[in-house]
Amino acid sequence: MNVFDCHTHWAPCFQNRDGRNPAAWIELIRSAGVSHAVILPFTGLIHDGKVGQDNDDLAAVCAHPAAEGRMIPFCTAQISVPDEGLAEIRRALGTLKMRGIKFHPWLQGLSPGWAAMDDVCDLAEEFDVPILFHDGTPPFSLPAQMALLAKRHPRVQIILGHTGLFEHWREAIAAVNLTPNLWPCLCSPHVAALKEIVRRCDPQRLLWGSDHGFTLDNFYPYRRGLMELIGLDDKQREAMYDVNPRRLLKM
C-alpha cells in the first residue's frame, strides 16, 4: 500500500540546506513509511515578491531524479492583483506542470469569497487540478468559506488542509457532509476530533497529512503515531492513505 502525505511543505530551511535536491527530504519521509507527498509552497505564501521563484524551485525539486516521482508539487499565487496572480497560476500549472494550487488565506491576505478566487477555480477546472486551503482560522480560512466556494464550483475538488484544526472541526464535518467536492485532510486536529471526522465523513474523501516540512522538527513520529490511535480498519487505512489521494491526484 502507498502512503500519501497530502500536506507537506518545502520551506527555506530545506531550500537553504539542500538547494533543489530533495534526496534528504525523501529519505526522511521514506523512514517515516511515507511513499508520496503533496508538496506545498512556503516562501511563496509569505513573500509576494518570491511567488514565482518559489513555484520554480518547487517544480524543480519535485522533478529532480532523487524525488523519484514521489513528490507532487502544488503552486501558489498572490491574487490580490488578480491578473498577475492568475497569469502565475496558469504558468505554474501549464509551463511548470504543477499538480494543484495551495492557498493559506490568512497568511496571504486573500478571502475565499473574492471574485478572483472564482477565477482561480475556473483555472483549476481547466487544468483539472485540486485546490488545497489552510483552514481552521478566521477571518479568511473557515471551513464554511471553503464549502461555499466549493459549492460555487462543483467540478473543482477543494481540500480542507486541516479539517478545522482544534476549534472548527465540527464545522468542517458539517461542511464536508454538505459539499461533495470538499475533501477533509486529517492534519492537526486532536485524536478525539480525528475519530469523529473518520466516523462521520465520507470515507472516499478522507486524506491524511502531516504538515511536515515547515521547520526542521520531525513531525512524523508524533503525527504518524496519532493515526495509529484512532482505530482505523484496513479498508479505511487503504482508502485514506492510498486510494483516495490517487483518485484525487489522478495517479
Partner 1 sequence: MSSIIDAYTTSGTERETALPVEELIRQLDDAGIARAVVAPEDREIAVHNRAGNERIARLAADAPGSPGGTGAPGNAGRLIPACTVNPWFGAEGVKELSRAVHAGARMLVLAPALQGFYLGDEIANPLYEAAKEMLLPVYVHTGPHGPAAPTQLALVAMQFPRTRFIMGHCGSTDHAHDMPAALKLKLPNLWFELSLVRPFAIHHWGKIAGDERLIFGTSAPRNLPRHELQHADLSWPIAKNSGTYGRNIEALLAEVRP
Answer yes or no: are the C-beta atoms of 38 and 5 closer than 8 Å: yes
Report the distance separating Cα 220 and Cα 209, nearest Å.
10
| One character per residue 146-185, x = contact with partner 1 (rule: CB under 8 A) | -------------------xxx------------------
CA 56, 213, 63, 95 dihedral sign is: negative
For the bound state, the minimum distance from the C-beta of residue 216 to partner 1, rounded and expressed in Å, comes to 10
Does position 106 interact with partner 1 (CB under 8 A)? The reply is: yes
Residue type, position 43, single letter: T
Question: What are the start-end ranges of the E strands in 41-144?
Answer: 71-75, 100-103, 131-133
Does position 23 interact with partner 1 (CB under 8 A)? The reply is: no
* Touching Zn ion, residues 195-214 (CB under 5 A): 211
Does position 200 interact with partner 1 (CB under 8 A)? The reply is: no
Paired residues of 132 in beta bridges: 102, 159
Answer yes or no: are the C-beta atoms of 190 and 157 closer than 8 Å: no
For the bound state, the minimum distance from the C-beta of residue 94 to Zn ion, rounded and expressed in Å, comes to 25
Q: With CB under 5 A, what is the number of residues at the site for Zn ion? A: 1
| Residue at grid coordinates 464554511 | 144
For the bound state, the minimum distance from the C-beta of residue 229 to partner 1, rounded and expressed in Å, comes to 5
Contact residues for partner 1 (CB under 8 A)? 106, 136-138, 165-167, 188, 190-193, 195-196, 215, 217-219, 221-222, 225-226, 229
Contact residues for Zn ion (CB under 5 A)? 211
